[in-house]
A and B are shown apart, each in its own frame.
Chain A
């Protein structure tokens, strides 16, 4: 079974600085999808960024980018120019090709210091 591990329960960063959240996963599949979701205090699950495993190019969405290392099974999220509104719990998630569910990591709580 696939597993997703986020080894940093909590992270903090100064406003306007850059922070990287780590995620590793375990799978025997070759085709799959990886996601980062943001959960602010409202507890809503908001999609931040998506990466298809068959694409070598790292996904980017404005200030958010990923470092996808398929061989190492690593999928880190980089947030540039951190803003107070970025404070949230961040979940890394995996979905196999055609799979019926997302497998989530335990989450990383990100604090932004003004």
Chain B
């Protein structure tokens, strides 16, 4: 089954304690991305990666790091979490978007990870 898998799904942590949210996809997609969802703001992109060893900032990258050492994995790292990073996080993937290929432009999401920083 084609899917994007995130772990953990739920986490409560304390300010300053480093944590990593893992993301893995089994669709051989080149593109992967992280979003956060906050009330009234919809989903906003944190970081994205177009392929192995290629990452770039999205709209809200402050306080986060990512790495893309393997095509299937794209972990999100919070080096020193703060309460304003309490949010619902989504990992997403898609093939490299090409002109005229609608399916290649569809982004698939993981089930989400609830993160609370106290």
Contact = CB atoms under 8 A, between A and B. Distances in A.
Interface of A: 31, 33, 35, 37, 42-45, 47, 50, 52, 54-55, 91, 95, 97-102, 104-107
B42 A100 contact: no
12 contacts: A33-B105, A43-B111, A47-B106, A47-B108, A50-B105, A91-B42, A97-B99, A101-B48, A101-B58, A101-B59, A102-B92, A107-B42
Contact of B105 (A43, A95, A104, A107): A95
Given A33-B102, A100-B48, A44 B109 contact: yes
Contacts of B90: 45
A50 B97 CA distance: 14
Q: Which 7 A-B pairs rank lowest in CB-CB distance, beginning with the nearest?
A: A45-B109, A104-B42, A101-B45, A52-B102, A33-B105, A104-B43, A100-B48
Given A33-B106, A106-B42, 14 more contacts: A43-B111, A44-B111, A45-B90, A47-B108, A52-B100, A52-B102, A91-B43, A95-B105, A95-B107, A98-B97, A100-B33, A100-B45, A100-B50, A104-B44
A43 B31 contact: no
Nearest to A98: B97
Interface in B72-88: 88
- Secondary structure dominating the interface of A: loop
Contacts of B44: 104
A100 B56 contact: yes
Interface string B94-115: 0001011011011111011010
B43 A31 contact: no
A52 B97 CA distance: 12
A95 B40 contact: no
A35 B107 CA distance: 9
B108 A31 contact: no
A98 B40 CA distance: 27
B12 interface: no
